[in-house]
Amino acid sequence: MDIEVRIRGLMMDPATSMPIVVLKDVASDTVMPIWVGIFEANAIALEIEKVAAPRPMTHDLTRNLIRHLNATLERIVISELKDDVFFAVLWLRQGDEPLALDARPSDALALALRADCPIYVTEQVMQMARLNTSGPAEGPTAEQLRGWLEGLNDEDLGRYKM
């Protein structure tokens, strides 16, 4: 079973200064962090803030391609966590044909924001990520990080809260 999540916020990891996308289960207070690259975080932040670039960014281009091919992005699913790497699937529909495409979660999240489609995490990934949320080796323990993420308020998330 897949768990629907929303982007709770985008913030910097205080230990590593790497961007984190904080996902929150819509039915509970469970949160799940995904560390992303600077450029991917920027693409997500631009869409959170609804900043229009003068030319289409990569995720805007992808959304436009999907539309012009008469397809729709129905949902994204963060589907796997293997060797500390998350995997995602874009679920599209073109006519009567469902299509599943492999994607990086950061790209899938940026595209989901632009396409205004639901975001899901598989139950298995949510459980694994909650247990193995260690980030880089020198970072805080899973329990410390989980407590820190669950205790976030809007001020902690800065200008990128959702």
pLDDT at 142 over 60: no
Arithmetic mean of pLDDT, 51-78? 95
Structure tokens at 116: 């205004």
Give the per-residue pLDDT at 135. 43
Global pTM value: 0.81
Residue 126 CB partners (closer than 8 Å, separation 6+): 3, 25, 30, 32
Q: Does domain 2-160 have CATH number 3.10.690.10?
A: yes
Arithmetic mean of pLDDT, 105-128? 96
pLDDT band, very low/low/confident/very high, at 29 (cuts 50, 70, 90)? confident
Would you list the domain boundaries of the chain? Answer: 2-160
Arithmetic mean of pLDDT over the chain: 86
